[in-house]
A and B are shown apart, each in its own frame.
Chain A
């Protein structure tokens, strides 16, 4: 079964940083460029993210996602460069197309901002096991029931995918067409989806019963199976991150 996560199991410093600190880091990376809307700040953020991805040894793994984002951003650059509302100063020609300075820089700002945010999330996603993140959040006060819901998604989706494959094979062996013109493909959608949905909805009844008999809705205080992981320099990193935010606010107020 294919695991549903981008998480890369490595033994680097970043992998041993507390998940909450990674969340705070994302918050800071998004908020600081909003407080200080300058190109150098955004670029510094992107460089910082890249360095952290490199330290975590997951930079290569993040490239396909950046590739996808960059493709969309390229269309933003073209459309805004050509048609942005405040376009006035011509910047350069590309064949018959005239790109304008205002739209180009607006698009550049969007591009850098999106890359910055995506990179910050990639640090969290690629270096944190989803179950560790959920467990940390439950320890910090998230309802254990919601914690269960989040955890079980990671188990249910691979299960449903293999059910889907079984059903596709079954339907194909009965002669159902899944290739051809659009109408044929549309007609195939419901017979493929329906049984998977019905199957998994009926399973929820059994899962609900199994949970009930194990005291899922008991009001007693729940304990944890796993011990708290040993995360490194938690207080120090958190302190530094808030300090960066404070520095950004002071810079904004003073300048």
Chain B
């Protein structure tokens, strides 16, 4: 086990995990749109990086992911970098505390990551878009709640909740399925304070 999950001595192996995580995010997102799935699934890499490398690597992967997206495709993703950062952090902490040992625990991790995304994104949505998420179904709900109650925060929170929690839950479950299938010598590679750093 690591001495601490906050260890800042980033090993070379865990650093090269970050670009791969960003790549996996991108592949997941591309596949989801090629297969026309009704979800984004654009954080699988970040979740895997959190499970393999801990909270710091997870958070770095999330933030760098959005910086790269911002620089290449979609400037708005810069703003949501902070959401990705916290998702990586929360998933990493839970993974380190042993919450990825079974499917039922993985569901809890998924919901926790989803709620993190909701809590961080809602203020961003309100200050940037007036509360919407840009997702058709979520925004329809937003309009409905606004028409009935006029409570922007509540409407925006629900909008984000129905969009993000299912997406992040499934993202975490897919990541967990992949994580379970990884060979042990690969999982050991990213633990930063391990003796395996000699890279046989």
Partner-B contacts on A (CB < 8 A)? 4-6, 65, 69, 72, 75-76, 79-80, 82-85, 106-107, 110, 114, 117-118, 121-122, 124-125, 130, 133, 145-146, 148-150, 152-154, 156-157, 159-161, 164, 178, 182, 185-186, 188-190, 192-194, 196-198, 200-205, 207-209, 211-212, 216-217
Is B158 interfacial (CB 8 A cutoff)?
no
The 8 A CB mask of B114-156 against A (1 = contact, 0 = none) is: 0000000000000011101010000100110011001110000
* Contact present for A208 and B12 (CB under 8 Å): yes
B22, B134, B177: which contacts A72 (Cβ < 8 A)? B134
| Interface-facing stretch out of B72-80, B86-94, B103-111, B161-169 | B72-80
Bound form: Cα–Cα A137–B32 in Å = 33
The answer to whether B70 and A121 touch across the interface, beta carbons within 8 angstroms, is: yes
**Contact A76-B132, Cβ < 8 Å, known A148-B15, A164-B30:** yes
Known: A145-B15, A153-B68. A198 touches B76 (CB 8 A): no
Please give, as numbers and ranges, the residues of chain B lying within 8 Å of A121 by CB-CB distance. Answer: 70, 75, 78
Q: For residues 17 through 38 of chain B, which have their beta carbon under 8 Å from a beta carbon of chain A? A: 17-20, 22-24, 26-28, 30-32, 34-38
Chain B residues proximal to chain A, CB less than 8 Å = 10-13, 15-20, 22-24, 26-28, 30-32, 34-38, 41, 44, 48, 60, 64, 67-68, 70-76, 78, 128-130, 132, 134, 139, 142-143, 146-147, 150-152, 174, 177-178, 181-182, 186, 189, 199
A-B pairs with the 4 shortest C-beta distances?
A121-B75, A83-B146, A208-B13, A185-B35
Q: Are B177 and A190 in contact (CB under 8 A)?
A: yes
* Given contact pairs A156-B22, A196-B24, A204-B189, a sample of 18 additional A-B residue pairs in the complex whose CB atoms are under 8 Å apart: A65-B74, A79-B139, A82-B143, A124-B71, A130-B71, A156-B20, A156-B23, A161-B26, A161-B30, A186-B37, A188-B35, A193-B27, A194-B178, A201-B20, A201-B182, A201-B186, A205-B189, A211-B16
A-B contact count (CB 8 A): 172
Which residues on the A side are within 8 Å of B17 (C-beta)?
201, 204
Q: Per DSSP, are chain A's interface residues mostly helix, strand or loop, or mixed?
A: helix
Which B residues are CB-close (under 8 A) to A82? 143, 147
Q: In the complex, A226→B20 CA distance in Å?
A: 26
Q: Which residue of A lies closest to B128 (CB)?
A: A114
Contacts of B73 in A (CB 8 A): 6
Are A193 and B44 in contact, with the CB atoms below 8 A? Answer: yes
Least CB separation from B130: chain A residue: A110
Q: B189 to chain A: closest CB distance in Å?
A: 6
